[in-house]
Amino acid sequence: MKKFMQVGAVVCLLATSAFGAPAEKYLHVRVTNTSDKEVVSVNVPLSLAEKVIPAINHGKLNQGKVSIDNADMKDVDLRSILEAVKNSPDGEYVTIESKDQDVRVAKSKGNLVVHVTDKSSKEKKGGQKVDVIIPMSVVNALMPSDKHEIDLVAAIHALSDSGEKLMVTVHDSDDDVKVWVDAESGSNEPSAKE
């Protein structure tokens, strides 16, 4: 009986380690150039990014954090703004409609949503449309308490904890860019995840 329980415990431990480990997530970037008919796909395991980024010490990127000059921020307390957005209910916060571009910033289902439509070059090239959907947990992780830096590693960590998402799409007459996160190592076209 004792032996049976020991075997059972070992089986339980193995099962926990096999099924309990979170699946690896991948950051995918796909750029499709319609005029050159060229497709570039990059797939990066998030665990790889999490280890590699702190090893890069170049320019403003040090130990996985990008320092922001005061001049860049123009005395805007981004952290306070994000904190305010975090604690606010879902809704549309900014809507700008102008001759050149439409901008919409909103919070929806735990995501920060930004839509930009550039109309200035529409006549010539067909205009540009940018859609960004970032989980609030990632946005919050990006901006630690020290407002003078962006914590990329914390953001990647938050990204791997968040669900599968189509995060950025940029579309203009020449290029189609998609950035998304999922658990597939290949670069299959993302489905509508949001």
Partner 1 sequence: MLLVGKILLGAVGSVAAMGAVVSSEGFVNVKVHEKKPEGVHLHIIAPVLLMNVGLHFVPRRDLKQAAEQVRPWLPVIDAAVEELKKGDDVQLVEVTGPDQHVKVATHGGSLVVDVTDPEDDVHVSFPLSEIDHAVHEIAAAGPTL
Binding site for partner 1 (CB under 8 A): 24, 26, 36-45, 47-48, 51-52, 54-56, 185-187
Of residues 91 and 186, the one with the C-beta less far from partner 1: 186
User: Considering the complex, what minimum distance in angstroms separates the CB of residue 52 from partner 1?
Assistant: 5
Q: How many helices (H) and strands (E) does the chain have?
A: 7, 11
Q: Which is nearer to partner 1, 143 or 154 (CB)?
A: 154
List CB contacts of 186: < 8 A, sequence separation 6 or more: 43
Q: How far is the CB of 60 from partner 1 (least distance, A)?
A: 16
**Minimum CB–partner distance for residue 20 and partner 1 (Å):** 17
Residue 79 C-beta: closest distance to partner 1, Å: 29
Buried b (16+ CB within 10 A) or exposed e, 77-95: eeeeebeebeeeeeeeeee
SS3 state at 179: strand
Toward partner 1, which CB reaches closer, 51 or 109?
A: 51
Straight-line distance from the first to the last Cα atom of the chain, in angstroms, rounded to the nearest whole number:
51
Is 49 strand, coil or helix?
Answer: helix
